[in-house]
Structure 1
């Protein structure tokens, strides 16, 4: 399983974009196991991700993965 991250300039300057990527990468580590073998996932950070706190990122990422895996939508 592999994950890629897209964080555009709309999220913030280079420091903010890199921080968002690091935070998302850290959160995805624990969430890769339920994905089917050989999966490729691309996570796109929306502009608000630069100001989002940890709990918001967790909630949004988990909701997106639930939708991806066919679970219930929040």
Structure 2
């Protein structure tokens, strides 16, 4: 689980990242990222009913939280990230898509790892 200081919580935070940030998409997910003035990077997740039933959605969220925690630890600056799961996310195999989309979003922000 992500610590509280690394989670996006309010709809305003989600909205600002999605509207003002950059976007990088892959087959199973879309990442919206925005550089923040704070040092702590934060993440939020959007998994709609289109992904599957409650059990499937929760499994996808757990997988994404685990993968994003590793990526946040290696991100050199403070970023706010919203990860939106698409219906193919229910099939699993999120690690490769997340890694590629994460690198692409950071590249668009002008950040190198």
Normalised-by-shorter TM-score class: 0.7 to 0.9
CA RMSD of aligned residues (A): 1.3
| Corresponding residue for residue 23 of structure 2 | none
Q: So what's the TM-score if we normalise by structure 1?
A: 0.83
Q: CA deviation at 1:36?
A: 1.7
Q: So what's the TM-score if we normalise by structure 2?
A: 0.56
| Corresponding residue for residue 3 of structure 1 | 43
| Corresponding residue for residue 43 of structure 1 | 83
Q: CA deviation at 1:35?
A: 4.7
Q: Deviations over 1:7-34 (max 9, x none)?
A: 0101000010000000000011110031
Q: C-alpha distance in 1, partners of 2:91/2:72?
A: 25
Higher percent of residues as strand: 2
> Any gaps of 5 or more consecutive residues in structure 2?
1-40, 109-113
Q: C-alpha distance in 1, partners of 2:63/2:84?
A: 13
From the CA coordinates, give the structure whose radius of gyration is larger.
Answer: 2
Q: C-alpha distance in 1, partners of 2:76/2:81?
A: 9
| Corresponding residue for residue 22 of structure 1 | 62
Aligned residues: 67
